[in-house]
Structure 1
Amino acid sequence: MNDKPTSMNADGIFEPFSSEDVPVEEWSQGTRFGSTYRYLSGFGGSTHVGVQLEELSPGMESSLNHYHMLEEEHAFVLEGEMTLKLGDKTYVMKAGHYVCFPAGQKAGHSFYNHSDAPCRFLMMGEKNPNEVLFYPENQRVGVRLMGEGYVRSSQIEYWERVDTDKPG
């Protein structure tokens, strides 16, 4: 790995780089969640598309199950295998498998490494500053623009609780 924070050269041009040049970052939450990753797109100067090379250790889950209202997200497995939790179904994904999570698809997704070896994969997605995420497990709604999360205790229809017969 090199010591540069990005692939930008002295002329301000972002040049090609090896994924090995990108710093490894790690996160975890308890014993259930966590992974290591290299934030490729940030190193390369991207501001609109996010790409990271992620490694999920055996027994770990990649994130809290969620879906995106404005962003599209993609995953491509490079080596190993893991289980995709998508809505109320699960799928085994192996090297060469690809999945897209379209914006607004109301089926939560997350990955779990059920195997005894690390799984390496690419995650790609948009970086919309106005994104809204929903987390089915705890009913949390995340609002990126505000940097806040809310609990969704009930959902109402547009005209629910509105007297539609009363004059303005």
Structure 2
Amino acid sequence: MSEKTTSVNAEGVFEPFHVGSVPWEEASRGERFGMRFQHLSSFGGGSQLSVSMEVLEPGKQANQSHYHLLEEEHLFILEGSLTLQLGAKSYELSPGHYACFPAGQKVGHCLVNHTSAPCRYLVLGNPQRNDVAVFPETGRVSVRLTGESYRQSATMEYWDGVDINQPARAPGAG
């Protein structure tokens, strides 16, 4: 028997669901980056708003520090705690903390779990088909435009310039 990929019923109607029925996915790279997530909104038929439940294990960073020019992201901590790196500043977040990363706010953000327990949180966003994401750590710029074209020498891979085996550490830590 296969696992359901959406909450749609036989009549094509997306029905309410328990988050336990949503498949977990994993994204990881090297020793530094890794997280598990459930994409709740797509399971429920959503396309205008993105909602994911994510779990960040101890010692891991969710993704590279970045910001979006068109997409807005929101973060709500459910259990555990983590460090939000927002530009040069760091913030310890625990259950009940909320953060918003407005589109066009040119300050990179990333999440790192420096504790000994997993941290579970929601990430909400408004996907933009033509978004531009900037990665201050590497200088990489990701442009999602219809019909985009680049010279190969002018592009770089997502992980170029990132030490993926460096342990996640608190910003400013030696």
Q: TM-score range by the shorter chain?
A: 0.7 to 0.9
The match for 2:159 is: none
Number of aligned positions between the proteins: 150
Give yes or no for contact 1:142–1:150 (8 Å, CA) kept in 2.
Answer: no
Percent of matched pairs sharing the same residue? 51
The match for 1:54 is: 54
Measured against aligned partners, the alpha-carbon deviations of 1:125-155 in whole angstroms (never above 9, x if no partner) come to 011100000000000000123498847xxxx
The match for 1:141 is: 141
The match for 1:32 is: 32
Give yes or no for contact 1:7–1:15 (8 Å, CA) kept in 2.
Answer: yes
Decide which moves more: 35-44 or 137-146: 137-146
**1-side partners of 2:127 and 2:46: how far apart?**
9
Name the TM-score, length of structure 1 as normaliser: 0.85
**1-side partners of 2:117 and 2:39: how far apart?**
22
Q: List aligned pairs for 1:1-168, cutoff 5 A.
A: 3-145=3-145, 146=148, 150=155
What's the secondary structure of 2:45's corresponding residue? coil
**1-side partners of 2:149 and 2:63: how far apart?**
18
What's the secondary structure of 2:42's corresponding residue? helix
Distance 1:131 1:13, change over 3 A: same
Structure having the higher Rg: 1
Name the TM-score, length of structure 2 as normaliser: 0.83
Higher strand share: 1
